[in-house]
Amino acid sequence: MSAVRRALEFLVTRALRSRLGIALVIAVVVFGIIGAARLVAGAGDPTTGLSNRPNQPITTVEPHEGDDGAIATGPPASPVTRPGARTPEQTADRFVTAWLGRPGVTADQWHEGLRPLSTPALTEKLAGAEPASVPAEQVTGAVTLRPRTATFVEALVPLDTGRLRLELVAPDGEWLVDAVDWEQA
């Protein structure tokens, strides 16, 4: 009994008071819990689980139900313009002319030329822009419109050094430029 007593005394006074001893006790407890859980759960079916690949594709839609893509909406509606107001093409042409500016135009004159053709949001975004930062000098082709809805149109304008993409909106029938994007050639 003295050997058992010395072993217990060693565990209590030295081994369990060290970090290594505490880590060993925690590991024994964790593995004991895992082993007990496996004994209680019983043997599992080896054919189930993530290790086996399915023998058919996994689908979330009935494959014979037809196309599950976007609903076909047909061609976009034609742009609607209030009587007497500028068309999207006219607004885009005037905006591009003002955007390109002319030699010697000041920043204030440039902003004043863009303001009546722009939404308040775009006017605010362009507040710090300078006419010298415009990367083109002249239009090289006609404006191409891509109607998206009756009140939203995308206009593409070819320029000498790239292409200008404008987004025009007309919530009340008057077309204004809402976004400007430059695509370099």
Tokens 């135009």 appear where?
105
Q: Measure the CA–CA gap between 42 and 26, rounded to whole angstroms.
A: 25
Tokens 């200008």 appear where?
164
If you average pLDDT over residues 58-84, what whole number do you get? 71
Residue spans of the domains in the chain: they are 2-40, 88-184
Q: What is the pLDDT of residue 144?
A: 92
| CB neighbour burial string for 92-113, b if at least 16 within 10 angstroms, e if fewer | bbbbbebbbbeeebeeeebbeb
Q: Measure the CA–CA gap between 85 and 69, rounded to whole angstroms.
A: 38
Is the pLDDT at 51 greater than 60? The verdict is no
pTM above 0.85, yes or no: no
The amino acid present at 62, given as its one-letter code, is E
Cβ-defined contacts of 52-58 (< 8 Å, 24+):
none
Residue 4, token pair as written in the block: 């058992």
Rounded to 5°, angle at Cα 56 from 53 and 60 = 105
If you average pLDDT over residues 103-119, what whole number do you get? 91
Arch. (CATH architecture) of 88-184: Roll (3.10)
